[in-house]
Amino acid sequence: MDAQTTTPSTAPQPATAEKTLSITVTPKAALKAREALVKRGTPQAMLRLGVRGGGCSGFSYVIEFAEEPSARDRVFEFDGVKVVVDPKSLIFLNGTTLDYETKLMSHGFKFVNPNEKTSCGCGESFTV
């Protein structure tokens, strides 16, 4: 996917029912996440996805280890990997696919987010 993503919806539209919000993790990303969790010595731990303010384009993506979900987190499971997202981040991440890419020079996770208007080269930051 091109880094400069444009969609007709320029801002995240507050969804009416929380249940309709969701994310996807590709099998490859799930595999790599599980490997990372095992390597860390915490195979039962989870992956937290989210957004926070900051970065060159306004918001940055968060991808980090989490020991357990917080009370209001939505918990997803993809190929045995538990993924938690706080409800506020989920509004921005709705419809996002977490992928894992292997390139010649680098490899790592990538957020493919339909809410994204512009993003920057470092892949961490975006505007909605």
Partner 1 sequence: MIVRDRSDRLTSARYDEAQDSMALLQIFDPKARPEPIGIDLGTTNSLVAHVVDGRATCVLDCDLSPLLPSVVHYASHGGVLVGAEARDLAAEHPRETLVSVKRFMGRGADDPETRRLGPYDFVSPREGESNTVRFRVRERVVTPVEVSAEILKVLKSRAESHLRTVGGAVITVPAYFDDAQRQATRDAARLAGLEVLRLLNEPTAAALAYGLDKGRTQGTFAVYDLGGGTFDITVLSLDDGVFQVRSTGGDSQLGGDDMDRAVALDALHAMGFEDLATVPPTLVRRALDAARAAKHALTDATETALTIERDGDAPYVRTLTRDDFDALVRPVVERTGPACRRALRDAGVKPEALDGVILVGGSTRVPLVRRYVKELFHHEPLADIDPDQVVAFGAALQADMLAGTGPREDALILDVIPLSLGIETMGGVAEKILPRNTTIPAGRAQQFTTYADNQTGFILHVVQGERELAADNRSLATFTLKGIPPMPAGAARLEVTFRVDADGLLSVGAKELTTGIEQHVEVKPSYGLEAEDVERMLMESFEFAEQDIAARQLRERVVEAEQVLGATQKALTIDGDLLDEDERAELEGALRALRDAMQSGDRQAIHLRTEGVDRAALPLAERRMNRAVQRAMSGHALQEFEEELKDRPVHPHLVGDGHTH
- The footprint of partner 1 (CB under 8 A) covers 2-4, 11-12, 14-15, 33, 36, 40-41, 47, 52-58, 60-66, 70-72, 86-88, 91, 100-101, 103, 106-111, 118-125, 128
Cα–Cα dist 75/113, whole Å = 19
* 43 vs 108 by CB, closer to partner 1: 108
- Rounded least distance, CB 70 to partner 1, Å: 8
- Rounded least distance, CB 26 to partner 1, Å: 13
- Pair 88, 74: CB distance under 8 Å: no
Cα–Cα dist 91/21, whole Å = 7
- CA distances to 2, 32, 46, 47, 85 from 36, in Å: 27, 6, 10, 10, 18
- Rounded least distance, CB 37 to partner 1, Å: 9
